[in-house]
Amino acid sequence: MKIQAVKGTRDFYPEEMALRNWIVDGWKRVSVRNGFAEFDGPIFEYLQMYQVKSGDEIVEQLFSFEDRGERKLAIRPEITPTLARMVNQRINSLPRPIKWFSVPRLCRAERPQKGRLREFFQWNIDTIGVDDVYADAEVIFTTIDYLQETGLTAKDIQAKISSRRLLKALFEAAGFVDDELPALYLLLDKKSKLPAETFNEMLEEKVADPARRKIVAQIMGVKELNEVSRLMKLPEEASAAMAELEELFALLEVMGISDYCKFDIGIVRGLAYYTGIVFEVHDIKGELRAVCGGGRYDNLLKDFGGPAVPATGMGMGDCVLEILLRERGLIDESLAARRLDYFVAVLDEALRKDAIALTARLRRKGMRVEMSYKGGGLGKQLKAASDIGASTCVIMGREYIEERKVAVKDMATGVQKLVGTEELLVMP
């Protein structure tokens, strides 16, 4: 029986693993320099945890199962609920603000497509305990900080920013009630991914009244922040949400990333728990799915039985990022190349044990060392050394037997010199 990998999963051969590690190392480095500390949680949780507040879309995509104790469990499709649960558990002892990051492996039973798989890695940064809009600005800054570091510029990507608080205030002013909003958000989140006709049909299904559909279209048709006030006489809550967005854009300007950021009322986000500023980073050409997404979720900790503590954060998967980096030629193709300090070769098979001993001693000193398993002529061994990426070859021959000296050969220049083994062990 030929067994294959499950659709939507990936095998990480050393080459792919090198790339994954490079991406993850960058996420971690940028998190730390922006003041976030790493955390992790279990890969499965009680199913109920995702049914409470993540929204219908995530629930449909859950890999869920029952354990032998008939507990209903699910593999994590995101880590934000775990984060909320963990913070709630220690809410009184954790120093605030809580700035945490994580790189969980996640599973969603989505239809595999370009940039969306069923198993992926997702960088998360979250700040808990700060309601100041500076925390939202910092999350966006950290996101762009990473993307900039990979070599992506404002010509490649853009952070599109909106506010659930503003949308809620506008929709309520237009006559929608709270209960209707989650389904409307979910549909609006899909707008750019659906053909216009399909979207209109679905909107008709959700919103029967043509007058209300018209106002939805008008709201979603807004192009600039200053056009919002032309829609209607703004209710107080909408004005407050506008002021918050204006403050956010002023901060992004001060942080030096305003050329990466743009207001876009079409950014609604699919997850149910967002309450304030929301954003997604997209490729400029709009050809790919979102690179990342996040926003403020001030009620999630309370909804999970904790106190009302504000929170804001973002999640970035590795799939679209990789496609984008590859398209822009920003992946170093030699990432996977093995880099060796020394390759130990022998001129005489009788020295094999000495070569094994020297290899072991060099490795214990922290050097990356290989030697031939097969032996054979020096030519063969030198070829093996260069195939494997050794910068220097250590050749043991007659001089070793006579005076414990080895020939150290620079593989690039071919220059060779005799060095005592003890000296070699302390060479920088």
Residues that bind ligand HAM (CB under 6 A): 78, 80, 108, 110, 116-117, 120, 122, 124, 126, 271, 290-294, 313-317, 319-320
Closer residue to ligand HAM in complex, CB, 102/421: 102
With respect to ligand HAM, which residue has the nearer C-beta, 109 or 419? Answer: 109
Q: Which of 296, 374, 303, 386 is nearest to 337 (CA)?
A: 386
- CB 391, min distance to ligand HAM, A: 37
**Residue (107 or 371) nearer to ligand HAM, CB:** 107
Output the smallest distance, CB 419 to ligand HAM, in A.
51
Count of positions (residues) in the chain: 428
Residue closer to ligand HAM by CB (options 123, 263) is: 123
186 vs 390 by CB, closer to ligand HAM: 186
Strand partners, 370: 343
CB of 342 to ligand HAM, least distance (A): 40
* Shortest reach from residue 289's CB to ligand HAM, in Å: 7
Name the minimum Å distance from CB 313 to ligand HAM: 3
244 vs 166, 268, 385, CA distance in Å? 9, 16, 61
Q: Which is nearer to ligand HAM, 117 or 203 (CB)?
A: 117
Cβ pair 334, 317 in contact under 8 A: no
- How far is the C-alpha of 110 from the C-alpha of 368, rounded, in Å? 42
Q: What's the closest the beta carbon of residue 65 comes to ligand HAM, in angstroms?
A: 19
Q: Cα(206)–Cα(370) distance, rounded to whole angstroms?
A: 65
Least distance to ligand HAM from the beta carbon of 40, Å? 14
Q: Give the CB-side neighbour count of residue 292, counting CA atoms within 13 A.
A: 26
Q: Which amino acid is at 97?
A: P
Q: How many CA atoms lie within 13 A of 409 on its CB side?
A: 19
Q: In the complex, what is the shortest distance from the CB of residue 162 to ligand HAM, in angstroms, rounded to a whole number?
A: 14
Instruction: Quote the CA–CA distance of 348 and 400 in Å, as a whole number.
Output: 11
Looking from the CA of 113 toward its CB, the CA atoms found within 13 Å total 7
Closest CA relative to residue 270, chosen from 315, 219, 209: 315
Amino acid (one-letter) located at 17:
M
Q: How far apart are CA 60 and CA 149, in angstroms?
A: 35
Toward ligand HAM, which CB reaches closer, 110 or 172? 110
Apex 385 CA angle, 381 and 388, nearest 5: 135
Sorted by sequence, the CB contacts under 8 Å of residue 392 that are 6+ apart come out as 341, 342, 343, 408, 409, 410, 411
To the nearest whole angstrom, how small is the minimum distance from the Cβ of residue 91 to ligand HAM? 18
The pair phi, psi for residue 23, each rounded to 5°, is: -65, -50
Looking at the Cβ atoms of 11 and 209, the one nearer to ligand HAM is: 11
Q: How far is the CB of 39 from ligand HAM (least distance, A)?
A: 13
DSSP state of 307: -
**Among residues 87 and 234, whose Cβ is nearest to ligand HAM?**
87
Alpha carbon separation from 94 to 87, 89, 211 (Å, rounded): 8, 10, 49
Describe the crossing of helices 236-254 and 133-149 by its angle, rounded to 10 degrees: 40
Name the residue nearer to ligand HAM (CB basis): 110 or 246: 110
- The secondary structure of residue 305, as a DSSP letter, is T
State the chain's maximal CA–CA distance in angstroms. 97
In this complex, which beta carbon is closest to ligand HAM, that of residue 139 or of residue 390?
A: 139
Burial of 291 (0-12, 13-18, 19+ CB in 10 A): buried
In the complex, least distance from residue 6 CB atom to ligand HAM, rounded to whole angstroms: 14
